[in-house]
Amino acid sequence: MDKSVVLAVGDSLRLGLLKGSIVYAGMPSDSVYSIVQTKTRGYRGFAWNLFLPSTTSELTIGGVRIYVENATPDAITLRIG
């Protein structure tokens, strides 16, 4: 899928049918941004915050490689691929 996606705080992006979604949760400090990973199983949902140093530019969530191009307190630009 190798394209850039901009998520504002609270916006979500589905990673795949069984891989769940991510939600941008902003920057709790100047040096940390937060991405929430969510999954559902039946009627139950699970979510957890991933607090990442602002220097982190590459991560894998649910087996999906994500490249962080830019993170601000209001939005994050990701490239999925």
Strands (E) across 1-81 are located at 3-8, 12-16, 20-24, 32-41, 44-53, 58-61, 64-71, 75-80
Tokens standing for residue 35 = 């991405």
C-beta contacts of 41-49 below 8 A and 24+ residues apart: 47/23, 49/25
One-letter amino acid of 11: D
Q: What is the pTM of this model?
A: 0.90
Q: Each residue of 20-72: pLDDT tens digit?
A: 999 999 999 999 999 999 998 889 999 999 999 999 999 999 899 999 999 99
Asked if 24 and 76 count as a contact pair (C-beta separation under 8 A), the reply is yes
